[in-house]
Amino acid sequence: MKTIINCVIIDDDPFAINVITNHIAEIPRLQVLQTYTNPIRALSEINDLKIKPDLIFLDIDMPGLSGISFAESARHSFPNIIFTTAFAEYAMKAFDLRAKHYLLKPIDLDIFCQKVYTVLLECFDNPLDDDNDAFYLRVGERGYRVKVLKEDIIYIQAAGNYLHIFTLEMHYTIYYSLQEMVQKLIGKTNFFRVHKSYIINSNYVQSIQGNTIHLQKYDVLMTAPFKADFVRYLEDNTLLFRR
């Protein structure tokens, strides 16, 4: 479980920023990392912050760059976004962008806490894994979970808002983003993202031919710029005769 959740607030209204800042102060696990009234500046600076935000509170109706456009540009790097807006008609578009939640202004503290705690539970309190060696996947009927050992995963494929997880025996489909899965697998040195849509487990690599990786009964393509880490791994582990 991540103890401290670093938050960024982006809203062209300083009063709205103050409201959210005060609400955040009521939740001990949350802390404000940075605030912006200019979304264009926020987009240009957010990747360079020394501490990366875990959660972004993002207004939708802003001049210069709307929250929708901001989210479309940043969602792969920063997937945990809660939209804030005075216009309920934006709700469907917000969820199309996989927003974690949606707060309608004026934002009541009780509603804020309810929705933020829901996001904390789903995104930061081990929504997939209950230990370091396995994922608990929500599949089938509501409330049913299946345990999948990470070492059994051969590769993972993104398909829109869903992931296909392949093992030797099974194929699971879950509602989850590839970027979120990349974050979950940080520190697992045998997993590599080799394509915008694929993560592979190097333990199952049988051979590589050009840009095709043969994984047991599956073939996966690797492409630039995603293959760099895997190519480096190959170079480090290829035996070469040096005179």
Per-residue pLDDT at 114: 86
pLDDT tens for residues 8-28?
A: 999 999 999 999 999 999 998
Q: At which residue do the structure tokens 């690797």 appear?
A: 222
Residue type, 174: I
Domains of the chain (ranges; CATH) run 5-123 (3.40.50.2300), 134-236 (2.40.50.1020)
Per-residue pLDDT at 214: 95
Mean pLDDT over 115-128 rounds to: 73
Q: Which structure tokens are listed for 150?
A: 């990470």
DSSP 102-122: EEESS--HHHHHHHHHHHHHH
Q: Which structure tokens are listed for 136?
A: 């608990």
Closest CA to 76 of 101, 115, 46: 46
Is residue 236 over pLDDT 50?
Answer: yes
Higher pLDDT, 97 or 46: 46
Return the top range by mean pLDDT from 36-40, 70-74, 84-88: 36-40
How far is the C-alpha of 21 from the C-alpha of 17, rounded, in Å? 6
Predicted model pTM: 0.55
How far is the C-alpha of 45 from the C-alpha of 196, rounded, in Å? 24
Closest CA to 80 of 48, 29, 116, 47: 116
pLDDT tens for residues 138-191?
A: 776 656 778 888 999 999 999 987 899 999 889 999 888 888 888 778 666 789
Is the Cβ–Cβ distance between 156 and 164 less than 8 Å? Answer: yes
Confidence of residue 129 (pLDDT cuts 50, 70, 90): very low
Lowest mean pLDDT among 87-101, 171-185, 192-206: 87-101
What is the number of other CB atoms lying within 10 angstroms of the CB of residue 188?
A: 15
How far is the C-alpha of 108 from the C-alpha of 86, rounded, in Å? 13
